[in-house]
Amino acid sequence: MPQLEPSDDGAPHAAVAAALTRERQRTGLSLAEVARRAGIAKSTLSQLEAGLGNPSLETLWALSVTLDVPFARLVEPVRRPVQVIRAGEGPTLAASGADYVATVLSACPPNARRDIYRIVVEPGEPRRSEPHMPGVVEHWILSTGRASIGPVGEEVELGPGDYLAHAGDVPHVFEALEPGTTAVVVTEHV
């Protein structure tokens, strides 16, 4: 039976493993159900998703039919497009009670658990945020200026290049302490 040729460096079939896992999760089907529908052993599918084993053409074809995806999607690595957002561009949202502007740099794609924003803030009224969903963590990197950031009552003063992570599922605040304060925030949904 023909087998998928290993890569030149002998590495496990990481692209196939990632594709099988991604596509199975997209369908919402269990490992056992996909294996049953494809007519293969659950242990075989488990090994393939772990990057072990050497799948045959027939096995991958049966899985592509079961998962309703083109065969090539299981064997070719996902190519991510290069995306550039120049300073001052991108979808921007302004806060109503503070001089605080957030630009979405990267919205959370399906099955991922994060968003990335560029923040521009001027001194004045602090930006107070209500709690986000349970488990959210905010990761801040201050780019320019100075700011006081964190859960209410636990704020930390940051300068350029400083990093702060804090719970986002509690009331929190961002206050610019200098004109032209900018930061990047990644909201992590756990």
Burial group, residue 121, by CB count within 10 angstroms (0-12, 13-18, 19+) = buried
pLDDT value at residue 4: 47
How far, in whole angstroms, is CA 39 from its chain's centroid?
33
Beta carbons within 10 angstroms of residue 26's beta carbon: 13
Distance CA 149, CA 103 (A): 18
Tokens of 120: 């521009």
Distance CA 93, CA 95 (A): 7
Q: Which tens digit of pLDDT belongs to each residue from 122-166? A: 999 998 988 888 888 888 899 999 999 999 999 999 999 888 888
pTM of the complete model beyond 0.75 = no
Inter-CA distances, 122 with 1, 76, 86, 111, 115, Å: 66, 47, 20, 35, 23
How far, in whole angstroms, is CA 169 from its chain's centroid?
18
Q: Please report where in the chains the tokens 């490992």 appear, as a residue.
A: 31
State which H helix or E strand residue 62 sits in.
helix 57-67
In this prediction, residue 78 has a pLDDT band, given cuts at 50, 70 and 90, of: low
Q: Which tens digit of pLDDT belongs to each residue from 11-53? A: 336 778 888 888 898 888 998 999 999 999 999 988 888 888 7
Average pLDDT over residues 168-177: 93
Tell me the average pLDDT of the chain.
Answer: 82
